[in-house]
Amino acid sequence: MSYRYPNISCELLTSDVSQINDRLGEDEKLLMKLYGFLKNEPSLNPLLASFFSKVLSILIGRKPEQRDNFVDLMIKHIGTSAIMDLLLRMLTCIEPQQLRHDVLNVGNSTVITKLC
């Protein structure tokens, strides 16, 4: 399987072109398509997960309000290192602090539910 197109897509989406990031961050259909990657069953392809994580890191850094309740889906893939890294980034780097708190609460409640 070739990862040429996912790699090129990732490089374009993470380039420092504000028009691309703004368009992706403002278009609900595009965001849902991107978040749809997390709807795959575990375990995710590690390389594709790293591309996904890289793109989401850029979006979250620029538009933290665009996270749109996808934390539950991320928890499902916590065993994939790129997704774990993205969750940690969300917990440590997102401003404002209330968003970090929200992510932590969703994560805690989801993990506790899975353990019970």
Residue-level pLDDT at 71: 73
Burial grade of 10 (CB within 10 A; 0-12, 13-18, 19 or more): buried
Range 51-67 average pLDDT: 76
Kindly state the tokens that stand for 86: 């993205």
Range 47-52 average pLDDT: 95
Nearest of 41, 42, 39, 54 to residue 7 by alpha carbon:
54
Range 83-94 average pLDDT: 79
pLDDT higher than 90, residue 4 = yes
Question: What does the alpha-carbon distance between residue 1 and residue 65 come to, in Å, rounded to a whole number?
Answer: 35
pLDDT higher than 70, residue 102 = no
Range 77-84 average pLDDT: 88
